[in-house]
């Protein structure tokens, strides 16, 4: 065990005043329950809180006279069998009313509402979301036994592909804020910083699933990773030095649980093994702690870890050996995808776009359907761009990059949107925007 890792874990026992987060959580649950009952009271069976707020691991940041919740508040609304599920516009309108009500209480946050029948819970198969929902979900109103409808399974039953998907999802979400990295800022913006913290946390989640050591909470994962790093030997087949990675994960877990204003990144100043100062190279203004705030090196190291883990996981999934190129690993994995899975994904795209409105895209979708599902194609474009970003940022002011073909990647996407001739952003930023749009439109809300 390295001395720095031991010191990091000792500092991990810091405790934040529990009163404030609990009061904020209560206010959010009360506001959501009130509005949901007012709209659907006669047909609702239960309201379930899930996600980090249910696990008491949400991050609240004090801003002026109020508080902002980083990330989403996730509720699952269980309707009686036979009742009509509310349409998406109705759910969106209700969500906006809940958020407006929270703003009146000086709480800012995004609320996510999913409307389902009890059969949804009965049909859940082993994956990370289902396990966390059954283990950590909280019924804030209604049938207290509703979560028992979820089939019982162990962490070892979670498919490895689910963990790889989680890693890919976090990298796609990073592309939403890539323009904030333009000019390689001395200090990361809040949006980039928070997504980098979440990337580290879910890299740990993904890795632990692959090694059969998954835990449903951030703290549990940090503790398990600490133990694995402590027992690692030089002969272990690892994607990267586990002790170094565990340092970052423990520090990011502190930042997530305690809030970045309470837990500066990183909680130790120098790695003893190489005496290299940790990359806190930006100015600290606006970060809530004296001195330095996280800079570009913090983000760049996260990208490097993500690529190493992504490659290691794909090698495990495909059985490929040697130093294959990223594109070769991805192609090998796409070729192993069952055709019925590809078909299900493209049928979802067809429904979303409309049968009649999308007829011009049918030939291209047919060709892409033999190649991979929409999800895998979005992942292929997203990861290729994400892994190249640190180098592309050096020339981010250029409209074209001679050694990076944005158009080839754009053609992988289910919908290759026509560029606005008035859009003067560099091609890289336009590509990132298109990838994110396709992800939200065709991937985020489906398992296909």
Span 148-193, pLDDT tens digits = 999 999 999 999 999 999 999 999 999 999 889 988 888 888 889 8
- Indicate if the pLDDT at residue 424 is higher than 80: no
Distance, CA of 367 to CA of 394 (rounded, Å): 35
How far is the C-alpha of 9 from the C-alpha of 388, rounded, in Å? 33
pLDDT in tens, 212-246: 999 999 999 999 999 999 998 887 889 999 999 99
pLDDT cut 90: percent of the chain above it: 61
State pLDDT tens for residues 371-414: 999 999 999 999 999 999 998 887 654 545 556 788 899 999 99
Q: Specify the pLDDT at position 293.
A: 62
Most confident of 13-17, 169-173, 339-343, 420-424: 169-173
Give residue 287's pLDDT band: very low, low, confident or very high (50, 70, 90): very low
pLDDT, residue 395, reads 64
Give CA–CA dist 69/165, Å, rounded: 25
CA angle 174–62–133, rounded 5-degree value: 55
User: Which residues, in sequence order, are CB contacts of 192 under 8 Å at separation 6+?
Assistant: 174, 177, 180, 181, 299
Per the prediction, the chain carries an average pLDDT of 85
Distance of alpha carbon 305 from alpha carbon 258, whole angstroms: 24
Angle between helix axes 190-210 and 218-231 (nearest 10 degrees) is 60
Q: What 3-state class would DSSP assign to 249? A: helix
Tokens representing 45 are: 């069976």
More confident residue, 277 or 188: 188
Would the pLDDT of 76 be above 50? Answer: yes
Q: Is the bond into 75 cis (omega within 30 degrees of 0)?
A: no
At 289-329, the pLDDT tens digits run 334 567 899 999 999 999 999 999 999 999 987 688 999 99
pLDDT at 421 (0 to 100): 59
Share of the chain above pLDDT 70, in %: 84
Q: Is the CA virtual torsion 80, 120, 116, 130 positive or negative? A: positive
pLDDT on residue 275: 32
- Residue 267, pLDDT > 50, answer no
Higher pLDDT, 296 or 1: 296
Are 268 and 278 contacting, i.e. CB atoms less than 8 angstroms apart? yes
Which residue pairs from 7-12 have beta carbons closer than 8 angstroms and sit at least 24 positions apart in sequence? 7/267, 7/268, 8/246, 8/247, 8/250, 8/251, 8/266, 8/267, 8/268, 9/226, 9/250, 11/254, 11/267, 11/268, 12/222, 12/250, 12/253, 12/254
């Amino acid at each position: 065990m390295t001395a720095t890792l031991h010191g990091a874990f000792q500092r991990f026992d810091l405790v934040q005043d529990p009163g404030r987060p609990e009061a904020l959580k209560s206010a959010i649950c009360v506001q959501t329950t009130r509005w949901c009952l007012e709209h659907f009271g006669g047909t609702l069976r239960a309201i379930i809180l899930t996600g980090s707020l249910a696990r008491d691991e949400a991050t609240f940041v004090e801003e002026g006279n109020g508080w902002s919740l980083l990330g989403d508040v996730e509720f699952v609304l269980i309707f009686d069998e036979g009742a009509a599920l509310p349409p998406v516009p109705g759910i969106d309108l209700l969500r906006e009313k809940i958020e407006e009500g929270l703003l009146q209480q000086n709480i800012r946050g995004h609320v996510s509402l999913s409307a389902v029948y009890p059969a949804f819970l009965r049909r859940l198969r082993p994956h990370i979301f289902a396990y966390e929902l059954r283990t950590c979900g909280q019924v804030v109103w209604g049938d207290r036994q509703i979560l028992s409808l979820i089939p019982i399974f162990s962490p070892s039953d979670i498919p490895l592909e689910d963990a790889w998907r989680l890693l890919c999802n976090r990298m796609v979400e990073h592309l939403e804020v890539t323009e904030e990295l333009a000019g390689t800022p001395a200090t990361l913006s809040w949006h980039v910083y928070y997504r980098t913290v979440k990337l580290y946390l879910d890299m740990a989640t993904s890795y632990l699933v692959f090694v059969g050591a998954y835990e449903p909470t951030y703290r549990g994962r940090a503790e398990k990773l600490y133990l694995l790093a402590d027992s690692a030997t030089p002969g272990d087949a690892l994607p990267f030095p586990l002790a170094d990675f565990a340092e970052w994960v423990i520090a990011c877990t502190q930042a997530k649980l305690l809030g970045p204003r309470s837990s500066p990144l990183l909680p130790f100043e120098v790695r003893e093994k190489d005496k290299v100062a940790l990359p806190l190279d930006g100015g600290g203004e606006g970060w809530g702690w004296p001195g330095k705030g996280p800079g570009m090196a913090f983000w760049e190291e996260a990208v490097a870890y993500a690529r190493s883990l992504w490659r290691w996981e794909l090698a495990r999934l495909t059985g490929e050996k040697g130093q294959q190129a990223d594109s070769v690993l991805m192609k090998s994995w796409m070729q192993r995808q069952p055709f019925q899975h590809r078909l299900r994904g493209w049928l979802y795209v067809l429904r979303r776009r409309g049968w009649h409105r999308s007829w011009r895209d049918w030939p291209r979708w047919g060709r892409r359907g033999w190649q991979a599902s929409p999800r895998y194609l979005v992942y292929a474009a997203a990861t290729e761009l994400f892994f190249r970003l640190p180098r592309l940022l050096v020339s981010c002011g250029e409209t074209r990059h001679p050694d990076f073909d944005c158009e080839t990647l754009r053609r992988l996407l289910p919908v290759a949107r026509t560029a606005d001739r008035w859009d003067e952003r560099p091609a890289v930023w336009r590509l990132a925007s298109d990838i994110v749009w396709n992800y939200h439109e065709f991937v985020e809300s489906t398992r296909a």
